């Protein structure tokens, strides 16, 4: 099948790499002007001059990131099947719409308020009780477009940093750890859900994902699966979705969802029988979904800013390196490493050993390293 991908970054690259063995071809539609996919056919079109040409070259369309003009996606959906459907994209682009959907489905979230001015931001912080997190209602990712207020008096500073904008103000959640769950849903409603991952962030960027999440009770996995099932059914979803959550003393609290393959699912490339990328391709092309069982234990390490001592990393027999063919730049995602092990103690040792060769990476701290 000829698959069109909106966006031309590393997620599109990994989708194509998993789709080629299934005899699919790929055409990438890039509106940024700076594609980095490095393979397949790329159409650069900032002004939608070549959209019709793109549509003639593909049978179905998907997307690798959610910051797309919804009107363009809806225009495409009127001509060719688009998976995930445009409604999922529209909801995920708007934090208020996303939180409202969670509430309608009975999925717990942090308490939140909307603010459209510095005064309203301060009032929301006072009402919710600090600390709170202020986030732009649209756009924003990897910690961008966010500010933490530890007192209502910090509203002016936060507004100057991320305003003027419509902001969502969330009460801080006291959580044990950050986790995520990834699932694939087919056109026929078939569902395949991966084991949950434990995620470690630094300055808003994911640095480590451990899967399956250590010390996770079956009830927590089942709770997350129930939330995912409700969301995907409500959106008539086709493809892979990620749901980020906080694990708290009283249960799971939903943070946000992503209508695409996700950074916290990169461990599935070597760590699961079928990767999230292959299952996304299977889902959007109408094929049966693959087995999502884990192959032992995994930890994904993001490579940020600098590649590091690649030769030493490749000498380690338990590492699998994935580079995105990008130039080094501070804060840029250049690739990731999947580390595999047979037990968590071994995994902890191997991750720390690998991290020694990555400059600037934060120390590996997780539930595995806490007493």
Exposed/middle/buried for residue 135 (C-beta within 10 Å: 0-12, 13-18, 19+): buried
Give the mean pLDDT of 208-225. 96
Confidence of residue 20 (pLDDT cuts 50, 70, 90): very high
d(CA 192, CA 18): 17
**Mean pLDDT, rounded, of the chain:** 96
Q: How many CA atoms lie within 13 A of 300 on its CB side?
A: 29
All domains of the chain in start order, with CATH: 2-82 (3.40.50.20), 111-171 (3.30.1490.20), 177-355 (3.30.470.20)
Q: Would you say residue 97 has pLDDT above 80?
A: yes
In this prediction, residue 145 has a pLDDT band, given cuts at 50, 70 and 90, of: confident
Residue 162: what are its φ and ψ, rounded to 5°? Answer: -120, -5
66-71 long-range Cβ contacts below 8 angstroms, 24+ apart: 66/92, 66/93, 66/258, 66/259, 66/260, 67/93, 67/139, 67/141, 68/6, 68/7, 68/31, 69/31
Give the predicted TM-score (pTM) of the model. 0.95
Q: Provide mean pLDDT across the span 285-306.
A: 98
Q: 272-276: long-range contacts at Cβ-Cβ below 8 A with a sequence spacing of 24 or more? A: 272/194, 274/192, 275/18, 276/182, 276/184, 276/194, 276/240
Contact 204, 84 (CB under 8 A): no
At 237 the three-state DSSP class reads coil
136-150 as b/e, with b when 16 or more CB fall inside 10 Å? bbeebeeeebbbebe
């Amino acid at each position: 099948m000829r698959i069109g991908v909106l966006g031309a970054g590393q997620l599109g690259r990994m989708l194509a790499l998993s789709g080629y063995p299934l005899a699919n071809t790929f055409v990438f539609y890039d509106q940024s002007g700076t594609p980095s996919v490095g393979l397949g056919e790329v159409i650069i079109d900032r002004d939608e001059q070549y959209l019709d040409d793109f549509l003639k070259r593909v049978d179905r369309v998907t997307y690798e990131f959610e910051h797309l003009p919804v009107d363009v996606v809806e225009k495409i959906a009127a001509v060719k099947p688009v998976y995930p459907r445009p409604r999922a994209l529209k909801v995920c682009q708007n934090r208020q719409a996303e939180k409202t959907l969670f509430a309608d489905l009975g999925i717990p979230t942090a308490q939140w308020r909307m603010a459209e001015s510095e005064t309203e931001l301060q009032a929301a912080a006072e009402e919710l009780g600090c600390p709170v997190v202020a986030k732009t209602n649209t756009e924003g990712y990897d910690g961008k477009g966010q500010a933490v207020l530890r007192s209502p008096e910090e509203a002016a500073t936060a507004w100057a940093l991320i305003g003027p904008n419509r902001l969502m103000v969330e009460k801080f959640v006291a959580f044990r750890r950050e986790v995520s769950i990834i699932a694939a849903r087919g056109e026929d409603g078939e569902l395949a859900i991966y084991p949950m991952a434990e995620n470690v962030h630094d300055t808003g960027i994911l640095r480590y994902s451990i899967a399956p999440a250590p010390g996770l009770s079956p009830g927590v996995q089942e709770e997350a699966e129930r939330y995912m099932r409700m969301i995907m059914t409500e959106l008539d979803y086709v493809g892979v979705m990620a749901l980020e959550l906080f694990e708290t003393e009283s249960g799971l609290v939903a943070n946000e969802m992503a209508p695409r393959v996700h950074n916290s699912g990169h461990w599935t490339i070597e760590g699961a029988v079928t990767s999230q990328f292959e299952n996304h391709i299977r889902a959007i092309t109408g094929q049966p979904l693959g087995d999502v069982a884990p192959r032992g234990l995994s930890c994904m390490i993001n490579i940020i800013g600098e590649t590091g001592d690649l030769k030493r990393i490749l000498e380690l027999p338990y590492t699998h390196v994935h580079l995105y063919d990008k130039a080094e730049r501070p804060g840029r995602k250049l690739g990731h490493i999947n580390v595999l092990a047979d037990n968590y103690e071994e995994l902890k040792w191997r991750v720390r050993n690998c991290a020694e060769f990555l400059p600037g990476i934060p120390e590996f701290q997780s539930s595995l390293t806490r007493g």
